[in-house]
Structure 1
Amino acid sequence: MEVALFEPRIPQNTGNIARSCAAFNIPLNLIEPLGFKLEDKYLKRAGLDYWPLVTVNQYENYEKFLASKSKKRIISFSKKNGLYLKDFKFKQDDILLFGREDLGLPDSIIDKSDYLISIFMPNIQTGNNGQKGVRSLNLSVACGIAIYEAHKQINFQNGN
């Protein structure tokens, strides 16, 4: 399994995701342009001292990323009417693809993906007090949820 971030903007989110990748021993793919430099202090701080434990691959654009991963399933995550995470069956070689914090994934990339997944949020429509509910999860939170679910499924399938 791998994680890919399409044009991430916020260094703290990417640092937190790198830490999750280190914890689950999975590579992190960063697809340019990035909204920060890899030397950014906030990126480094969020990833703590776990950077040596994560393999980070950087790609100039989505086409170059896709060409290097041609044999793997691309599982895109979006709030746009995807199959719910709990109903999807992950495989060991899947790539979990997440979009920009401000825009998500463009339709052109979603269309090239093998699957589109959404994380169910019970409070997305209306909050308890009648106000509009939550529009979306933070990128690093959504990524952590997806990594955990995929890892749980794959390890149970393999008997671990």
Structure 2
Amino acid sequence: MRLALFEPEIAGNVGAVLRLGACLDVPVDLIEPLGFQWDDARVRRTAMDYIDHVSVTRHRDWAAFQASIGSARLLLFTTRASQSAYDFAFAADDVLLFGKESAGAPDHVHAASSARLRLPMRAEVRSLNLAMSAGLALGEALRQTGGLPG
């Protein structure tokens, strides 16, 4: 299983997702362009020492990312979906994809996804934080597939 972030814009969210990947032993893919300057000091500040315990792959663009995942299912988490992540059967080699904080994922990313999933929430609110969404989705996917560590 992998976590992928499409053009993330906020270093703090990326740091939290890297920490999540480190704690749950799940690699993280970052699809550029990023909305912040990537440098060791900034990344270390946001991901703390967890950066040493997670596999991170940066992809120069969407096409490079797509080429890297082969035949794995690409599951897009989006507020535009109707299917709940909790009513979906995950597989151990799925790639869980999350769009950018300000705009989500564009139509071509939606079209390339094997499934579009939604995390249930109250109708009165717009969306969860990116890192919170990744944590909820990954926790359920790993629970279903027996992939939770320890």
Q: TM-score normalised to the size of structure 1?
A: 0.88
- Structural mapping, 1:122-141, within 5 Å: 123-124=122-123, 133-141=124-132
- 1:115 alignment partner in structure 2: 115
* 1:85-114 deviation line (CA, Å, top 9, x unaligned): 100111010000000000001111111110
SS state at 1:17 partner: helix
| Deviation at residue 43 of structure 1 after TM alignment | 3.7
* Contact 1:11/1:40 (8 A) holds in 2: no
- Say which of 109, 132, 138 aligns to 1:147: 138
Identity among equivalent positions (%) equals: 38
1:60 maps to which residue?
A: 60
Q: Deviations over 1:104-154 (max 9, x none)?
A: 011111111100000000x22xxxxxxxx2100000100010010011111
- Across the aligned residues of Structure 1 and Structure 2, the Cα RMSD in angstroms comes to 1.7
Counterpart in the other structure of 1:127: none
* Unaligned ranges ≥5, structure 1: 125-132
Aligned length: 149
Indicate the SS of the match to 1:49: helix
- Structure whose alpha-carbon radius of gyration is higher: 1
- Whether 1:26 and 2:17 are equivalent positions in the alignment is no
**Equivalent residues in 2 for 1:81-120, closer than 5 Å:** 81-120=81-120
Determine the structure 2 residue equivalent to 1:15: 15
Distance 2:75 2:101 in 1: 17
Offset of residue 42 of structure 1: 4.9
Cα distance between partner residues in 1 of 2:34 and 2:90: 28
Distance in 1, matches of 2:77 and 2:46, equals 22
Aligned partner of 2:130: which letter?
A: L
The residue matched to 1:117 in structure 2 has which SS? Answer: strand
Distance change (3 Å), C-alpha of 1:134 and 1:43: farther
Measured in 2, the distance between the counterparts of 1:7 and 1:41 equals: 20
Q: Find runs of 4+ consecutive structure 1 residues off by over 2 angstroms.
A: 40-46
